[in-house]
Amino acid sequence: MISLDDVHFDYDGDTVLSGIGLVADSGATLGLIGPNGSGKSTLLRLIYRALRPRTGVVAIDGAPVATLRGRDLAGRLAVVTQESSADTPITVAEMVLLGRSPWAGALQGYSHADRVTAAAAMRRVGVRELAERPFSSLSGGERQRVLIARALAQRADHILLDEPTNHLDVRYQHELLGLVHDLDVTTVVVLHDLNLAARYCDRLVLLDRGRIAAAGPVAEVLTPELLEPVYQVTVARSSAFGSIQLLFGPGRPGVEDSVSTDTGEVFAP
């Protein structure tokens, strides 16, 4: 479980996050959504201690992250960010082995057990056959799977992902998030695509200008009444393939939309 209690964060004197309180339940997928600049990635960095809050407590399974030593934090929390360069001159197997770095000795290197753990992580996400390939030669979807394998090799039971579907085509977006959702770990993921959030998250936190505008089950957060004032677009909600489906239009929030029954196109009257 990951929890934040009354967290505030300032940057150069400006308030970025204010009064943030949330809980990511054990084994569930929590999605962080909101417009650009709403504080999603900053919140994620506070959880993995790249940033420190001005006030408030960030905790993992009840233990404040500020009190955890580096190895203890690595044993609980793995992070998949957008910062890994595609030009990294190492193989897939070497990239996944980096997940074992917190436990590898400075002199003896990786053990046989480390390599077994890495191989198991690669099999779990379907990239075992890519082990000897250069990481730089992979497609975007393959690279993201490898980075998730690295997180699994770390043996942490909490994973944070910052916009993992960025620059992926539709197929890989769904494959990747389906994989993440089925992992038996606590997951917090930053997403821009609200329809992907609807399908693959268990609960959502909607951020708006550094505050929580709504939090709860997907069906309670993804409503036109909550989304329109935050995103400043008109929203129509329906369902498709067993999940909530949102349509967005350029009209002013509050102006009733019309839907053509022939094409399904949404337009403002």
pLDDT, residue 106, reads 60
The letter for the amino acid at 248 is F
Three-state SS across 200-217?
Answer: HCCEEEEEECCEEEEEEE
Q: What is the mean pLDDT of each run of 10 residues along the chain (269 residues)?
A: 96 93 95 96 95 96 93 91 71 94 76 94 92 92 90 92 88 90 93 96 97 97 97 94 92 55 42
In order of 139, 179, 213, 220, 256, the CA distances from 130 in angstroms are 11, 17, 42, 41, 51
User: Which pLDDT value is given to residue 84?
Assistant: 59
Q: Please report, as a single letter, which amino acid is at residue 264.
A: G
The per-residue pLDDT for 223 is: 97
pLDDT, residue 250, reads 80
Q: Which phi-psi region, left, alpha or beta, contains residue 87 (left: φ > 0; alpha: ψ -120 to 50)? A: alpha
User: Token pair for residue 258?
Assistant: 């019309």
Give pLDDT, residue 260. Answer: 42
Dump strand ranges (E) for the chain.
Answer: 2-11, 14-24, 29-33, 55-60, 63-64, 77-80, 158-162, 186-190, 203-208, 211-217, 234-240, 243-249, 258-259, 266-267
pLDDT value of position 264: 47
Within its chain, how far is the Cα of 79 from the centroid? 9
Nearest alpha-carbon partner for 181 in 207, 203, 150, 208: 203
Q: Which domains does the chain have, with CATH numbers?
A: 2-218 (3.40.50.300), 223-269 (no CATH)
